[in-house]
């Protein structure tokens, strides 16, 4: 039923949109209600207009089966190239196989298929940011803060006792951000000690509950930093800290919190001095790069100059802070 509906929708969209575009892009986003993917979508739509290409974007409703059906529909409706944001990156092989048998190029975004999967088809690519880089930048934010604020080492043991709030289990970004933020702190000459950590599934409410439990069980005075895999969880931690009279403007009662994404609420919290900093995952840059690459591929151009290792375009991350607290 859903498949028929999606097909009908795609046909309707195809008929109604400009018929003279010679490049037709079919794109699936794992879930429309993801704030980060929204910026991505907007960037892709804008760039398609620039490139005079036609783009159809489908919501995969966080369900890999739905997404597979959507890919079939796209191929049947005759798109020239696919831009896919997999629901489950470990199940990308079937999409690569579909594209291969239809002989159209496929560009993956945001969730990276393994190198082995990409190697099975010469026209499969990945556009994204190196997840380890976001971790490194977040770790550096903390390290820089401790360099300029020696008093942040509350127990004066020369180590950084931090709490880690992790994203969804198994997500590439969760793994890389958790690992490389700690590496960056080490590289800056500090000794990081994870006194507590938990999976909060990218979610503000869960992060708030978990952080609250950590504050109660460890004592806020024993926590020296909070590293969250994304901004929503960082904001959840900020709310929990505020409920315990921390991060409300009193320099004595402050714990630096960092996130990743640079979404509007995080920037807002940073303006109020409640959050130390965040790392911008450049959705605009990635969305634009993905569409540029897709159009070039659909037109049969040689892209070997744009990609590294024959498969990848890496868009860099950027640190965001609001001056000195």
Partner 1 sequence: MAETKSRSKRLMTMGGLIFLAIGIILYFVKEPMGLNRKIYDLPVFLIIIGACSALKGYMAKEKTEEEAALAGKTFSEFLTNNAILLAMLVLVVVICILQPRFMQIRVALDILTQSSTKLIMALGICFTLLIAGTDLSAGRMVGLSAVVSASMMQTATYANRFFPDLPQVAVWMPIVIAILACMVFGALNGFLVAKYDMHPFIATLAVQVIIYGACSLYFDMPPNNSQPIGGIRPDFAQLGQMRLFNGVYRGFPGISILIPIAVVICIVIWFILNKTVFGKNVYAIGGNREAAVVAGINVFRNIMGIFILASCLYGVAGVLEAARTAGATNNYGNGYELDAIAACVVGGVSLNGGIGKVGGIIMGVLIFTIIQYGLQFINVSPMWQQVIKGVIIAVAVAIDLTKYRRK
Residues that bind partner 1 (CB under 8 A): 32-35, 38, 42, 196, 198-199, 203-205, 208-210, 212-213, 216-219, 232, 235-236, 239, 242-245, 263-265, 267-268
Give the nearer residue to partner 1 in terms of CB position, either 142 or 199: 199
Compute the least distance from the CB of residue 300 to partner 1, in Å. 34
Compute the least distance from the CB of residue 56 to partner 1, in Å. 17
Contact 222, 193 (CB under 8 A): no
Give the nearer residue to partner 1 in terms of CB position, either 79 or 241: 241
CA-closest candidate to residue 91, choices 65, 55, 54? 65
Compute the least distance from the CB of residue 312 to partner 1, in Å. 28
Give the nearer residue to partner 1 in terms of CB position, either 215 or 289: 215
Contact 165, 131 (CB under 8 A): no
Compute the least distance from the CB of residue 31 to partner 1, in Å. 9
Residue 72 phi/psi, 5-degree rounding, is: -55, -45
For 25, what's the count of Cα atoms within 13 Å in the CB-facing half-sphere?
31
Give the nearer residue to partner 1 in terms of CB position, either 42 or 299: 42
Report the greatest alpha carbon distance in the chain: 68
Compute the least distance from the CB of residue 273 to partner 1, in Å. 14
What does the angle CA 220 – CA 222 – CA 226 come to, to the nearest 5 degrees? 70
Give the nearer residue to partner 1 in terms of CB position, either 203 or 282: 203
Compute the least distance from the CB of residue 208 to partner 1, in Å. 6
Contact 213, 243 (CB under 8 A): no
Give the nearer residue to partner 1 in terms of CB position, either 106 or 238: 238
The Cα-based distances of 134 to 2, 9, 256, 264 in angstroms read: 37, 37, 17, 18
d(CA 15, CA 37): 26
SS3 state of residue 267: helix
């Amino acid at each position: 039923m859903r498949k028929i509906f999606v097909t009908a929708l795609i046909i309707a969209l195809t008929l109604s949109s400009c018929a003279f575009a010679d490049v037709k892009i079919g794109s699936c986003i794992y879930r429309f209600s993801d704030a980060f993917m929204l910026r991505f979508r907007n960037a892709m739509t804008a760039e398609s207009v620039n490139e005079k290409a036609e783009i159809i974007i489908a919501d995969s409703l966080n369900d890999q089966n739905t997404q597979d059906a959507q890919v079939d529909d796209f191929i049947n409706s005759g798109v020239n190239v696919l831009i896919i944001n997999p629901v489950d990156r470990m199940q990308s092989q079937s999409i690569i196989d579909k594209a291969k048998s239809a002989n159209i190029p496929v560009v993956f975004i945001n969730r990276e298929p393994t190198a082995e999967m990409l190697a099975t088809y010469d026209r499969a690519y990945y556009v994204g940011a190196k997840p380890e880089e976001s971790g490194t930048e977040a770790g550096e934010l903390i390290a820089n803060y401790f360099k300029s604020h020696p008093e942040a080492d509350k127990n004066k043991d020369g180590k950084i006792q931090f709490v880690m709030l992790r994203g969804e289990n198994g997500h590439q970004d969760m793994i890389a951000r958790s690992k490389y933020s700690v590496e960056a702190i080490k590289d800056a000459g500090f000794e990081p000690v994870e006194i507590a950590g938990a999976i909060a599934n990218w979610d503000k409410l869960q992060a708030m509950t978990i952080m609250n439990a950590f504050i109660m069980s460890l004592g806020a005075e024993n926590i020296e930093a909070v590293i969250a895999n994304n901004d929503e969880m960082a904001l959840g931690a900020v709310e929990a800290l505020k409920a315990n009279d921390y991060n409300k403007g009193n320099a004595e009662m402050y714990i630096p919190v960092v996130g990743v994404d640079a979404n509007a609420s995080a920037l807002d919290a940073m303006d109020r001095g409640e959050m130390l900093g965040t790392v911008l995952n450049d959705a605009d840059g990635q969305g634009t790069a993905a569409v540029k690459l897709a159009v070039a591929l659909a037109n049969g151009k040689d892209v070997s100059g744009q990609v590294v290792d024959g498969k990848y375009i890496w868009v860099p991350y950027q640190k965001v802070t609001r001056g000195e607290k």
